[in-house]
Amino acid sequence: MKKIFILIMSLFLILGCDSGNSSDRVEEHIKKNLGNNPTKQQIEELLISGQVIYGSRPEEAKKYFEAAAKYDPRGAYALSDYYLEKEEYENFEKWAKQAAEGGDSRAQFNLGYYYDENSRLEEAKRWYIKAGEQGDVGAMLNLALLYENEKDEKKAEKWYLKAAEAGNAQAQYNLGIIYMENADFNKAEEWYLKAANQSHLSSYRALGYIYSEEEKYKEAEKWYLKALEMGDQSKEIYNNIGNLYFNINEFEKSLYFFEKALEKDSNNVTINCNILKVKKKLKDGSNTEKNEEKCNIK
């Protein structure tokens, strides 16, 4: 920390307040540091110097990064960031690739994302894998999503699992979906709970559904109501809660939530039939035999 402070003070002295000749002074500073065979400390000083002045003097910072990039992938990464901000994508790609090939996981992720966004999916996967193997959780998640879109469930599960075990709530939830689709409800519940413990909204609803199916209605109610508290205002949550209360014969509550679902989608046949079903239980005279037949209500 002391060394960094001294370096910052040195930079103020080198560059001064006047930007007129500061570019020349930067070049002198670089030459002095590099010499013929720069040490790790000298390269580190170049990187820190660039970072310190980047906000106010990005063009001069770029010179430090260019000098450092010859010896350290972090310099190339900093340059890729510089060009990305300027939306100069060819230069971004050039420097990101240099940094990525040098092992910088941030550059590997950024390159993967760049190729992903430009539908160069094989290249995206290649760089996501490299970043993921270095522990980049975002790369693991994006890689799993790519494999899921390609219907490669085994590879999707593999990378979701890596991201989930690293604590990513979205990966935990997506892993839960995979296990639900394969009727492995115990594993689905395990991962939904992990995601829910990180306040992942969709996991609340998913847990409510699992517990409803298992007829654990108190648990189901707990998670559905948590979803509501956290802001889930979807027709699905209202309809699911309506079904839950119907199943435990709390028909007034059931009707309330079915009607809330109907406000979200007034033409939804399932919700309309659910309302008829609960009104019949409440002996509401507004039902008609014709509508009951359409919904197969007896």
pLDDT digits (tens, 9 = 90+) for 99-157: 999 999 999 999 999 999 999 999 999 999 999 999 999 999 999 999 999 999 999 99
Averaged confidence pLDDT in the chain: 90
pLDDT digits (tens, 9 = 90+) for 208-258: 999 999 999 999 999 999 999 999 999 999 999 999 999 999 999 999 999
pLDDT at 37 (0 to 100): 79
- Distance (Å, rounded) from C-alpha 264 to C-alpha 37? 69
Phi, psi of 98 (to 5 degrees): -60, -45
pLDDT bin (cut points 50, 70, 90) of residue 52 is: very high
pLDDT digits (tens, 9 = 90+) for 168-194: 999 999 999 999 999 999 999 999 999
> What percent of the chain is predicted at pLDDT more than 90?
80
pLDDT at 298 (0 to 100): 56
pLDDT at 286 (0 to 100): 60
Q: Is-contact 142 149, C-beta < 8 A?
A: no
Q: Is the pLDDT of residue 49 over 80?
A: yes
pLDDT bin (cut points 50, 70, 90) of residue 285 is: low
Query: Tokens 């522990």 label which residue?
Result: 135
- Distance (Å, rounded) from C-alpha 74 to C-alpha 68? 8
pLDDT bin (cut points 50, 70, 90) of residue 197 is: very high
Q: Is the pLDDT of residue 167 over 60?
A: yes
Q: Is the pLDDT of residue 198 over 70?
A: yes
- Distance (Å, rounded) from C-alpha 224 to C-alpha 211? 10
Q: Select the more confidently predicted residue: 25 or 115.
A: 115
pLDDT bin (cut points 50, 70, 90) of residue 29 is: confident
pLDDT at 207 (0 to 100): 98
pLDDT at 252 (0 to 100): 97
Q: Is the pLDDT of residue 33 over 80?
A: no
- For residue 149, what are its two tokens? 């879109």
Nearest Cα neighbor of 63 from 94, 24, 100, 111 is 24
